[in-house]
Amino acid sequence: MPSSGKIVTPNMKMYTLAELRAATKNFRPDTVLGEGGFGRVFKGWVDEKTYAPSKVGMGMAVAVKKSNPDSLQGLDEWQAEVKFLGKFSHPNLVKLLGYCWEDRQFLLVYEYMQKGSLENHLFGKAAEPLSWNIRLKIAIGAAKGLTFLHSSEKSVIYRDFKASNILLDADYNAKLSDFGLAKLGPINGNSHVTTRVMGTYGYAAPEYVATGHLYVRSDVYGFGVVLLEILTGLRALDTNRPSGNHNLVEYAKPSLSDRRKLKKIMDPRLEEQYPAKAASQCAELILKCLESDPKSRPSMDQVLENLEEISAIEVDPKKVRAKAKRNSSKQRQESSSSSSSHQHHHHGHYRSPMYSKHGDNGTRARCSQRPSMVR
């Protein structure tokens, strides 16, 4: 394997390692934004027009992904990222600005996403709860990104759709990131491509895990899992939950077709501020996405259309008034008792056995260490 290289891509800047060191304060630990299988992601700064490195706080913030020297798939994933993100441009795909391949190091430079990942917002302990409308906005944005990939000239299978790969800008617009496992879809009338099983447990479609057969609608299964996480505020896979409840799909599926059961597994941080009809329709959509036969799942086009219809359903004004009344009562109680200020923000809301005391499954640092599949 050559230690350096160049890829001819018209809209991307080729950086030197020295330039990216300058942009990230020599990859200092305090610039780390996150960590994944590929390596660490650092915050850096570049000039808005030339994309040349600039001083901290000057110009435009970027995210610099640096390969882990021990990553066996480093080069393959790096090339896949450049191949797909370098070619595509869409409001719901993260923008790749440049790359570097030097001294056996692979680096990628992306636009910086101010709000971080959907994963951190759903499961991070310090995160502000997302409202129903924001959750739907994120789901719709992610659906638009997947729809675009599936309907491109040669359909692209994303293969690793999960909450940590959905990044959010300042206005909670969702953009898909991390195209390291993306694959061109089947050609010549074939229904699937056969490939080594890779991805993340809990999100990968059953037919892919079992046979290595990857369908365009294998992505739809992953979308259904993320939509279920958005509804429940629970991780797809969490070994800290009670025995038998580790896998969210297996646990929650029986509740999705029953309105009363559905209410019990809805994220308590929503504080019931969502239209019951919309939640019920979301649950129906999730069940369709999770069909065991990929041919029975809807296309992402259909999923997007369905979500946009659901987003038009408004919250019952009675519920809004009831919440305001509860908040007012709560404030009165807090002012009369200092001890109540130490109570957890979930207090007073129904929590099913699924919400264990360790339900957040650790801090952000552990988020990226979800069990991945390599076979």
For the chain, give the longest Cα–Cα distance: 72
Residue 185 to residue 18: CA distance in whole angstroms: 37
The answer to whether 219 and 327 are in contact (CB under 8 A) is: no
Residue 45 to residue 22: CA distance in whole angstroms: 9
List, in sequence order, every residue forming a beta bridge with 237; answer none if it has no partner.
247
CA distances from 297 to 48, 205, 248, 284, 303 (A): 43, 11, 19, 12, 9
Q: Which residues contact 245 (CB under 8 A, 6 or more apart)?
A: 251, 353, 354
Instruction: Please tell me the predicted confidence (pLDDT) of residue 1.
Output: 37
Nearest partner of 191 among 156, 161, 216, 158, judged by Cα: 216
- The radius of gyration computed from the CA coordinates of the chain, to the nearest angstrom, equals 22
Instruction: Please tell me the predicted confidence (pLDDT) of residue 187.
Output: 65
Residue 182 to residue 365: CA distance in whole angstroms: 25
Instruction: Please tell me the predicted confidence (pLDDT) of residue 83.
Output: 75
Residue 297 to residue 299: CA distance in whole angstroms: 7
Instruction: Please tell me the predicted confidence (pLDDT) of residue 10.
Output: 53
Angle between helices 276-289 and 300-311 (to 10 degrees): 170
Residue 149 to residue 48: CA distance in whole angstroms: 28
Nearest partner of 299 among 151, 93, 88, judged by Cα: 151
Instruction: Please tell me the predicted confidence (pLDDT) of residue 17.
Output: 92
The residues annotated with a catalytic role in the active site are 160
Q: Which residues contact 346 (CB under 8 A, 6 or more apart)?
A: 268, 269, 355
pLDDT digits (tens, 9 = 90+) for 353-375: 445 444 443 333 333 345 555 44
Residue 70 to residue 249: CA distance in whole angstroms: 33
What does the angle CA 203 – CA 208 – CA 210 come to, to the nearest 5 degrees?
Answer: 110
pLDDT in tens, the chain (375 residues): 334 334 445 568 889 999 999 999 999 999 999 887 677 899 999 998 888 888 888 899 999 988 876 665 667 777 777 777 777 888 999 998 999 888 778 899 999 999 999 999 999 887 889 999 999 999 999 999 999 999 877 788 888 999 999 999 999 999 998 877 778 777 656 777 877 787 788 999 999 999 999 999 999 999 999 999 999 999 999 999 888 889 999 999 999 999 999 999 999 999 999 999 999 999 999 999 999 999 999 999 999 999 999 999 987 666 666 666 666 666 666 666 555 444 444 444 444 444 544 444 333 333 334 555 544
pLDDT digits (tens, 9 = 90+) for 292-342: 999 999 999 999 999 999 999 987 666 666 666 666 666 666 666 555 444
Tokens 């950086």 found at: 15
Backbone angles phi, psi at 206, to 5 degrees: -60, -40
Backbone angles phi, psi at 157, to 5 degrees: -95, 120
Backbone angles phi, psi at 359, to 5 degrees: -55, -25
| Amino acid code (one letter) for 235 | R
CATH architecture of structural domain 116-324: Orthogonal Bundle (1.10)
User: What are the residue ranges spanned by the domains of the chain?
Assistant: 22-111, 116-324
| CATH of the domain spanning 22-111 | 3.30.200.20
